[in-house]
Amino acid sequence: MKKVILSLGALTISAAMFAQSNESDVDQNGDLNSAVVTQVGMSNNATTDQDGTSNESDINQEGDANIAVILQAGTSNAAVATQDGAMNDARIDQAGTDHDAFQEQSGDNNRANTFQRGWENTSSQMQMGDRNQGVVVQNQGDNLAVQMQSGAGNFGQLNQNHFGAGGSNEGYQVQVGEDNGAYIYQASQYGNGTNNSTAAQVQMGEDNYAKIEQQGNNHVSVQMQFGIGNEAHDLQKGAGEESLVMQSGMDNLSMVEQNGWGHDSVVTQFGSNHDSDVFQTGGRNASTVFQSNGSGMIAN
């Protein structure tokens, strides 16, 4: 009888261990490729597929039911995905030459996706908290994308040269809080695309929304929002335009559109329920808007 009980116990333990096991799949084709997978926990899944020469990948999973996928094709690409928590999803897809992609997730139910084509693009995504989502898409060459999310329910999307022309752009997104949304699009389907442009967004609080779209060359756009329910939209087309938006408080709205060359716009709003709309076309126009519940409004 004791033998039967012991046998049943062993079967139960084996079944439990099988159900909680981790899974890793590595497939490499070419020369001098390197893949490292480390899994600690239960029900983690890691997939690595490399095709080409001198590609490197590293997946590190700690926790339960995390998913990491690295796909690389080409030469001298590098990808690192690190997960600590439960039910996180990290995916990197790179094709071309000398791309670098880094993903780090800490918490539960975060989603990170990086898609890079061309040459010498770099992407870095860091997520701390729960239910954050980050997407990076980069084409052509020498682009840099940085996303950092801390909190819960934040969403960030950063697209550079997704029409296939342009390069040497930089995009930065920092979100701290809950349910913020940030979008950067630096690309153009006309001419030589978008080149040498920089976009940066910082949001701290809840339910803030920021969007930057830049077409052309040598633009700079910076959006900073602190508080609840603020919204900022920037559209710049042409060459050499700069926009700075800073909002602190609740339910403020800023709309900036610049088309031409050499424009400069600065919008600052403190307090609640302010609304600013800036539209400039032609060349070398400058606009400054300041609004505050305490000090009224000054505009030039």
Residue 118 and residue 6: Cα distance in Å, rounded? 59
Mean pLDDT of the chain: 92
Above 50 in pLDDT, residue 298?
no
pLDDT value at position 297?
A: 42
Above 60 in pLDDT, residue 5?
no
Is 10 in a helix, a strand, or coil? Answer: helix
Above 70 in pLDDT, residue 10?
no
Q: Within 10 Å of residue 186's Cβ, how many Cβ atoms?
A: 30
Looking at the structure of the chain, the number of domains it has is: 1
The rounded Cα 37 to chain-centroid distance in angstroms is: 24
In eight-state DSSP terms, residue 6 is H
Nearest to 115 by CA among 58, 81, 72, 149: 72
Domain residues for the domain of 276 are 2-299
pLDDT value at position 190?
A: 74
Q: What is the pLDDT of residues 63-104, one digit of tens each?
A: 999 999 999 999 999 999 999 999 999 999 999 999 999 999
Above 60 in pLDDT, residue 201?
yes
The rounded Cα 102 to chain-centroid distance in angstroms is: 11
Percent of the chain residues past pLDDT 70, beyond the cut: 91
Residue 260 and residue 258: Cα distance in Å, rounded? 7
Q: Which of 8-22, 64-78, 112-126, 183-197 has the lowest mean pLDDT?
A: 8-22
- Residue bearing the bigger pLDDT, 51 or 4: 51
